[in-house]
Amino acid sequence: MEMGTIIAGILTLAILSFLYRDNPIYKMAEYLLIGVSIGYVLVITWTNTLMSLLFVPLFAGSDLWLIIPLILGLLMWARFHKNIASLSRIPIGFMIGSGAGVAIPAMLYGRTLRQLSASVTPLVDSSGVPNISGIVVIAGLLTTLSYFYFSREHKGHFGRLAKVGTFFLMVFFGTTFGYTVMSRMSTFIGRMEFLLTDFLRLAN
């Protein structure tokens, strides 16, 4: 058996031991996972971002404009010195500002207008038959939106509308929950398959 399979099998069992209760073996594996994951992210960030976008073009390609993000990045380290800690707000301001600027049109288009246009479908088809699914979508959208409208008290007709919205929300939460459980379950089946076939060799 390959060394990699043995290590992966032991670590999988170490994590699964949490099903019994919190124990030192699980904790050891948990800390190892955190350490290795952070090390992995560090290496990938260094290689894919800092080397390819900053250091190679700056020092080998002589793109001197890249001194700007380099200085901004270095200012982040000012956080560790109390006297100059406020300087780290400058790169944060750059990131927050440019992120917000990008987010406005993206959110307006992707999250709002596209969702609205996808919901507006013909409610009666060409032969005069009502489009039940389309009616359900429009009703669900309007009632759920009215549930999230808090500038008016949920009373009277508006309150009843919002109440219908909660049913649509419950359907959404239920389906999302079902999908989440099933996706986790399929991951678990994958791990069990690995343990039984590759590691313990109890099944083909």
Partner 1 sequence: MGRKFPLAVCFLFGVVMFIQYFSQSTAARNLNQTILDYWQIVFAFTLIVGVFSFFKNNVTHISRGADRPYRVVGLIGFCSMPILALIWGIKADTPFMWMFENVQAPMQSTVFALLAFFVASASFRGFRARSLPAAVLLISALLMLLSRSNIGGYFSSGLPEVANWVRDYPSMAARRAILIGIGLGSLTTSLRVIIGIERTWLGGEK
Site for partner 1 in 49-108 (CB under 8 A): 49-50, 53-54, 65-66, 68-70, 72-74, 76-77, 79, 85-86, 89-105, 107-108
User: Does 4 engage in binding with partner 1 (CB under 8 A)?
Assistant: yes
- Enumerate residues 6+ apart whose C-beta is below 8 A from 201: 1
**Minimum CB–partner distance for residue 168 and partner 1 (Å):** 4
- Enumerate residues 6+ apart whose C-beta is below 8 A from 148: 165
List the beta strands (DSSP E) in 7-114: none
- Enumerate residues 6+ apart whose C-beta is below 8 A from 163: 147, 154
Query: Which residue, 170 or 203, is less far from partner 1 as judged by CB?
Result: 170
Q: Pick the closest to residue 87 from 105, 100, 101, 74 (CA basis).
A: 74
Q: Which of 190, 193, 196, 197 binds partner 1 (CB under 8 A)?
A: 190
Q: Which of 37, 56, 123, 124 binds partner 1 (CB under 8 A)?
A: 37
User: Does 158 engage in binding with partner 1 (CB under 8 A)?
Assistant: no
Residues near partner 1 (CB under 8 A), total: 114
**Minimum CB–partner distance for residue 198 and partner 1 (Å):** 10
DSSP class of residue 83 equals G
Look up residue 119 and give its two tokens: 């919901």
User: Does 23 engage in binding with partner 1 (CB under 8 A)?
Assistant: no
